Amino acid sequence: MTATTLEEKLDRPLLFPGLTWEQFKTLEPMLDIPGVRLLFLDEILEIQKRPGRKHETAKGRIGALVETYMMPAGIDFTATESLALENESRLVKCEADKSYELAADRERPDLAIEVAVTSGGIDKLEAYKRLQIPEVGFWENSRLSLYALRQQAYEEIASSQLLPELDIGLLVRCVNMPSHVEAIKEFKRAMDLNTTNRNIAIN
């Protein structure tokens, strides 16, 4: 009989309530296991398996498309990827799937993107609110939902306020294409066409 690893058991996130921040930080190095990541919010420790192929493919595609948009738009961005963010006073630790700083010398990412392939777990929007992330995107069931931070809560928005010219419908269509290369080509073609049409309208 072979031993079952913790990673193999984590088809869904495991939640452990009732932990203080100090207890969480004591456990954290003990649970530093390859293939596992830890999140924390309001005395709840979440242990989840590192994402599989479906998750990583979607994350990579979204990142490639967003960066394809930002480069010609002249946006000064830094890809902070799955940067772990925490705040002891607000009892939160979270790790986005993709994150971006949209200017130099930022204290925290401006944009975080989550790719959800399992349900359950801590309230990610609440976690990002505690961390004061201005905009958050959730990719789930082949669609993208965007949220902007308004004072004390997130509000769902139809288009990005940080990337105002980004065509969300086009982005979603290209993320769902089977070929990564064709998706990038289609995205670039459509961007160029949109730019040409805007220039004609202006002139």
How do residues 75-134 score in pLDDT, each as one tens digit? 999 999 888 999 999 999 999 999 999 998 898 999 999 998 777 789 999 999 999 999
- The stretch 42-69 carries a mean pLDDT of 92
Q: Which residues contact 121 (CB under 8 A, 6 or more apart)?
A: 13, 15, 39, 46, 48
- The stretch 43-47 carries a mean pLDDT of 96
DSSP bridge pairs for 160 = none
Q: Which residues contact 53 (CB under 8 A, 6 or more apart)?
A: none
At residue 2 the predicted structure's pLDDT band, cuts being 50, 70 and 90, is very low
pLDDT digits (tens, 9 = 90+) for 91-101: 999 999 999 99
> Is 90 exceeded by the pLDDT of residue 189?
yes
Tokens 């930080």 -> residue: 25
> Rounded to 5 degrees, what angle do the CA atoms 159, 82, 40 make?
100
Q: Which domains are assigned to the chain? A: 52-202 (3.90.1570)
Q: What is the pTM of this model?
A: 0.86
